[in-house]
Structure formats: C-alpha cells, structure tokens
C-alpha cells in the first residue's frame, strides 16, 4: 500500500493556494515536518495534499476547535469584566470630581475674617536701607547666603 495514496502531489505554490495560506507557511510546515513532501531530481519541492480533506493538512483538529472556542469565551468574559470595571471606576471618578467641585464652590468664611496685609510683597527683595549693617540670614535672599 502506497503512503501517498489518496493525496495529490502539488507544488508549494499550488498547496498554498489550495489551503488558503502563504507559500512561506507551507515552507515552514515542511521545515517542521508537519506536511508530507518530497524533493524531485530537478530540485523542486512537492507537497502531498489530501484531495478530499484539506483540513487535516492545515492541522485543524476538533479538539483544537473546542479549546479555541473555550479560550475565546474566556477572553470575552475577561473583556466584559474589564469593561464593567472601567465603567465602575469612571463613575467613581465622576462622583469624586463632582464632590471636589462642590467643595471648592462653597464660600470660604476664613478668607473674609483674615486681616488684609498692609502692603503687597514684591517678588524681588528690597535693598537694605543701611548698607553698613550686616544682613541677617532671614533678610537676605538664599542665593546671597554663600557669598
């Protein structure tokens, strides 16, 4: 009994077309040894493809389909959970934002009771009136401390 009985001997390009994959995928399967093939004397590689059931050559197995379906279901459940979690956290964040707006919009009574400063402070220090007196650490700017 011939090992290749019931199989069509085709080129790599034809096998790729029949199986709906790229030629590189066929060459990888040949390299892995998952696809029956032989090399002719002229150097061409021929692949043996089942004329009736091309699914076996592609490696499709009902066990893999079941596993894949279970994996897809699991990933969909995880995706659903994460979407719900994001919606919950968005709701919490919106609630916190509204609370912060209400707190900052409330009138601040402590500001009205505080006395106003007699004169506004300028950003630059004023020069000392008496240059002969030494400056204390609190009167001079920080960058003059090392001078």
pLDDT at 139: 72
Domain annotation for the chain: domains and CATH numbers: 7-58 (1.10.10)
Stretch 85-95: mean pLDDT: 96
Banded pLDDT at 57 (limits 50, 70, 90): very low
Under 8 Å CB-to-CB from 45, ≥6 apart: which residues? Answer: 11, 12, 30, 37, 38, 39
The answer on pLDDT for 27 being more than 60 is yes
pTM: 0.34
Backbone torsions φ then ψ of 20, nearest 5 degrees: 75, 30
For residues 100-138, b (16+ Cβ closer than 10 Å) or e, as one string? eeeeeeeeeeeeeeeeeeeeeeeeeeeeeeeeeeeeeee
């Amino acid at each position: 009994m011939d090992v290749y009985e019931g199989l069509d001997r085709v080129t790599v390009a034809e096998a790729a077309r029949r199986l709906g994959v790229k030629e590189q995928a066929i060459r990888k399967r040949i390299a892995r040894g998952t696809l029956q093939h032989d090399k002719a004397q002229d150097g061409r590689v021929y692949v043996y493809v089942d004329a009736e059931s091309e699914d076996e050559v592609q490696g499709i197995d009902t066990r893999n389909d079941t596993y894949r379906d279970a994996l897809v279901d699991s990933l969909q459940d995880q995706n659903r959970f994460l979407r719900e979690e994001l919606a919950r956290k968005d709701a919490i964040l919106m609630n916190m934002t509204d609370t912060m707006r209400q707190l900052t919009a409330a009138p601040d009574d402590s500001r009205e009771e505080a006395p106003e400063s007699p004169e506004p402070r300028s950003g630059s220090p004023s020069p000392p009136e008496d240059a002969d007196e030494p400056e204390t650490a609190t009167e001079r700017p920080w960058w003059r401390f090392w001078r």
